[in-house]
Amino acid sequence: MELAPLLLLLLLLPAAAMAVAAGGEPVAAHPGYALGGAEEACGVAEAEAEAEALPAPERREEFDGGRIVDISHYYREDMPAWESAEGSGGFLRLARSMRNGSDIANFSELRLTAHSGTHVDAPGHVFEHYYDAGFDVDTLDLAVLNGPALLVDVPRDKNITAEVMASLHIPKGVRRVLFRTLNTDRKLMWKKEFDTSFVGFMKDGAQWLVDNTDIKLVVHCRG
Ligand SMILES: *[C@@H]1O[C@H](CO)[C@@H](O)[C@H](O)[C@H]1NC(C)=O
Ligand SMILES: *[C@@H]1O[C@H](CO)[C@@H](O)[C@H](O)[C@H]1NC(C)=O
Ligand SMILES: *[C@@H]1O[C@H](CO)[C@@H](O)[C@H](O)[C@H]1NC(C)=O
């Protein structure tokens, strides 16, 4: 049986070009993933017992022939939130626990803004007429959001102006670009207090991009 491909590598805004927590041992995404060979994986005994009944699970680590590199930040309570000095705060709680009365499961509740951490903005986020017309995230083209992207280093002493865009010489035909800026060096995503001095696109830089490149997806770390 073919499962519908559900892989989304959303190269999201604002994303830092760093994902792997520094140091530490590599951690398997799931007990079924072997790190040092199948023999060492958790749950192998059960997996072998069930092997006759179940087809081997297909690991969808690839999309469209390319490797997926997840650059999204995991949610943390001290992850910066827009104009907040307090970070994102407690966004996860155990609403019902098996320890004190829930008889079938633990129920956790998430409460956070749609613009937390690594995310993609809907057209309706900043344009009222798009909002009124219902341009939600599901109106975005997944073919634009997925696929090879170019990582470009922006001069660390500048915001992204038309002049900076011109100096980057991004070739025609490139559709997805990750702009690595001073925000990454300053580790803004790791600072609880929102820093309004983050580097970003200036209006003329955005206009230059529209007028002179084939870029359809912009990824940057805002901090
Ligand atoms: C049960 O535990 C959960 C999680 O700790 C808590 O949110 C909830 O208020 C508790 N309910 C009762 C009835 O004590
Ligand atoms: C349910 O929540 C409790 C905390 O109240 C935790 O100790 C327990 O491991 C959880 N059980 C499951 C099956 O996740
Ligand atoms: C980028 O622009 C912001 C907002 O105007 C400003 O605070 C910041 O200092 C600028 N950064 C650089 C590197 O020029």
Closest residue to atom 13 of ligand 1, CA basis? 100
Residue type, 52: E
The two tokens of residue 169 are: 């010489």
Burial code (b: 16+ CB inside 10 Å, e: under 16) for 117-155 equals bbbbebbbbeeeeeeeeebeeeebeeeebbbebeebebe
Query: What is the model's pTM?
Result: 0.70
Per DSSP bridges, beta strands 176-180 and 62-63 are unpaired
Tell the residue nearest (CA) to atom 9 of ligand 3: 197
| CA of 6 relative to ligand 2 center, distance in Å | 29
CA of 51 to the centre of ligand 3 (A): 57
Residue-by-residue pLDDT tens, the chain, 223 positions: 333 332 223 333 333 333 333 333 444 334 444 444 333 333 344 555 555 687 887 766 666 777 777 788 889 999 999 999 999 999 999 999 999 889 899 999 999 998 999 999 998 999 999 999 999 999 999 999 888 899 999 999 999 999 999 999 999 999 999 999 999 999 999 999 999 999 999 999 999 999 999 999 999 876 4
85: nearest Cα among 171, 192, 174? 192
What lies within 8 Å, CB to CB, of 84 at 6+ separation is 193, 194
**What local confidence, expressed as pLDDT, does residue 139 receive?**
93
Give the SS3 label for residue 38: helix
How far is ligand 1, taken at its centre, from the CA of residue 101, in Å? 8
